[in-house]
A and B are shown apart, each in its own frame.
Chain A
Amino acid sequence: MAAHPAQTGATAGRPIPKASRAVFWNDPRVRGIFYQILAVALIGGAVWWLASNTIENLNSRNIATGFHFLGREAGFDIGENLIDYSPADSYFKALLVGVLNTLRVAVIGIILATIIGTIIGIARLSKNWLVAKLASIYVEVVRNIPLILQLFFWYSLITEFLPGPRDALHPMAGVFLSNRGLKFPLPAHEFAYDLAMVLFALGLIAAVALGHWAKKRQDATGRHFPTAWVNLGLIVGLPIAGWLLAGAPLTFNAPVLQGFNFVGGASLSPEFSALLLGLVIYTAGFIAEIVRSGIQAVGKGQTEASLALGLSKGQTLRLIVMPQALRVIVPPMTSQYLNITKNSSLAVAIGFPDIVSVANTTLNQTGQAIEGIAIIMAVFLTISLSIATFMNWYNKHIALVER
């Protein structure tokens, strides 16, 4: 009994027992720093080992390193180019042609796959049994066949089953479809067409300004402005009016058969067409699923609440369902856009001169394998990071505020 108060006093005065103080290597912060140092050391060591080995090997075989070869004459021709290019140009220019070809496929592919994928995704949710069934068959077939097989399929369909230039399919004046690709007329260079292009640009600017004005006026007076129709008039009508005013010339630079192929007009090569077709059809299948699940993720209650307030079906889709579906759609959509870009490198298999194919030729001719691979990686990394950065920004922009 007497020991009791003394004991309490002693307990109060005693320092905190050792067991409750953490040993320093059990502190999560200390551990975190330790693992980071370890990771940096391992990576640094690996890079140093690879680099020193490579340089040593290259030196012992007398292979020059560096990017000096970029200025030398390429000496090979490229089947398709967006900028003027001849074999006398430098390797740098050849690679630039390749990059532009990759970008062309990627950008057009992303736009088309998004449009087609969205339509098919919405179709899968259709109340019409046939439409929904066809859409789901499309998705299942397209997603379950390897892309490379699909590319071979489209390429052989174009090159093997379409007739030669002499018996080219001729669906309308000036348009020819043969195993050399699709040839179509371009408007000849004339004042009327230039005027139309300028008016088109002006129409776009006017449409944006009008949109702002209509929004302001709606806020102020409540009156709604038929922006969509007026904008259509501005963007489409204005250039047509300009072209009519300039005398409505109908001179076209049409393709003509000469010898074994067409000259003049514009063309889509079989390689480009097959690559674009394959990428778009394949990726649209994935995008359709993303769009479908995005729309389904918006609860039925949202639509009902909107309809109950008197909003029309169109307003409900535009103001309530789509903004919410986008939040679910955008992140996986980003990876599909990255996939299109990366998958475009399968161009090599059907002979489309994208960056991989041009860099491969460069690498074979110069022997600068490491630099060639580095260029390919840098190009894809730059494109991918740009897409990812933009999509992340957009995603943040539309993110939902939660508690």
Chain B
Amino acid sequence: MATAVQQPSDEPMILLEKVNKWYGDFHVLTDIDLSVKRGERIVICGPSGSGKSTMIRCINRLEEHQAGRIVVDGVELTNDVRKVEAVRRDVGMVFQHFNLFPHLTVLQNLTLAPIWVRKTPKAEAEATAMKYLERVRIPEQAHKYPGQLSGGQQQRVAIARALCINPKVMLFDEPTSALDPEMVAEVLDVMIKLADESNVTMICVTHEMGFARSVADRVIFMDRGQIVEQNTPEEFFSHPQNERTKLFLSQILAH
């Protein structure tokens, strides 16, 4: 009986078991098995359309899976709205196109969830928000609207907004691929700093190989809805095993 009681630290933060998903006849995700430890940093890469976004969007149920099990911090994702909302309270997400709320100021973007979801007093929520804005190095933009910021600044606000709910997991879906080249570094810097200074679990879809090398504990390669290969960054980049991985790496490194 004692074996049934698990230490929370042993339990994986995120567990995907035989996850399958279809869009009509199209099989987007095929038998995905993935276990992510607490505090682990994972980078996911793969060709366009391979199902990377779909997979991480299943983790906070922006997409529903049709078969298999997804468990986040001990809570299994089902049709139960309360469980879904409970998971979302602990999972922050950063999108490719920022998705800031244009009708709210930067500060209001950051305090929205703390005030309405966590029921934090406004002054306290604003103080926390300012702390995170300082961490992403744009406290002076607090009272501007998203439309008045550059792309790189908007993405840093989006990261701060996700951090304001004090998440256990951060999901990044190609956070730098909509940015002009000169802004990519400022966003990656913020993400690297976040990885260094906190123990939040991170799953990041990106093709920034430098970022993967310096931050990731594990790199996962997806193709046609399957996890084809996974390894430490060093092994993954220097000794790819699968033919499809080799082809993919040769293509992105040829750029």
Residue B176, interface by CB 8 Å: no
Chain A neighbourhood of B123, CB < 8 A: 219-220
B113–A311 CB distance below 8 A: yes
Within 8 A of A (CB), among B115-166: 115-125, 145, 147-149, 161-162, 165
Given contacts A218-B115, A305-B99, A310-B113, 7 further A-B contacts (CB under 8 A): A301-B97, A305-B100, A310-B85, A310-B88, A311-B112, A400-B145, A403-B148
Q: Name the residue of chain A whose CB is nearest to the CB of B60.
A: A308
Query: B residues near A, CB below 8 A?
Result: 60, 62, 81, 85, 88-89, 91-93, 95, 97, 99-103, 112-113, 115-125, 145, 147-149, 161-162, 165
**23 CB < 8 A contacts A-B:** A219-B122, A220-B121, A221-B121, A222-B115, A222-B120, A222-B121, A222-B122, A224-B119, A299-B99, A301-B99, A305-B100, A306-B101, A306-B112, A309-B112, A309-B161, A310-B88, A310-B113, A310-B117, A320-B101, A327-B103, A400-B103, A400-B145, A402-B145
Chain A neighbourhood of B145, CB < 8 A: 400-402
Chain A neighbourhood of B162, CB < 8 A: 308-309
Q: Name the residue of chain A whose CB is nearest to the CB of B124.
A: A222
Most buried by B among A299, A311, A398: A311
Q: How far is the CB of A252 from chain B (nearest CB, A)?
A: 46
- A216 and B148 alpha carbons, distance in the complex (Å): 29
Query: A residues near B, CB below 8 A?
Result: 218-224, 299, 301-302, 304-312, 315, 319-320, 323-324, 327, 398, 400-403
From known contacts A301-B97, A400-B102, infer whether A310 and B121 are also in contact, taking CB-CB under 8 Å. no
Chain B neighbourhood of A312, CB < 8 A: 81, 85
Q: How far is the CB of A222 from chain B (nearest CB, A)?
A: 4
Chain B neighbourhood of A309, CB < 8 A: 88, 92, 112-113, 117, 161-162, 165
B117–A311 CB distance below 8 A: yes
- A307 and B91 alpha carbons, distance in the complex (Å): 11
> CB within 8 A of B147: which of A301, A315, A323, A403?
A403
Chain B neighbourhood of A401, CB < 8 A: 145, 147-148
- A324 and B60 alpha carbons, distance in the complex (Å): 24
From known contacts A308-B62, A310-B85, A310-B89, infer whether A402 and B113 are also in contact, taking CB-CB under 8 Å. no
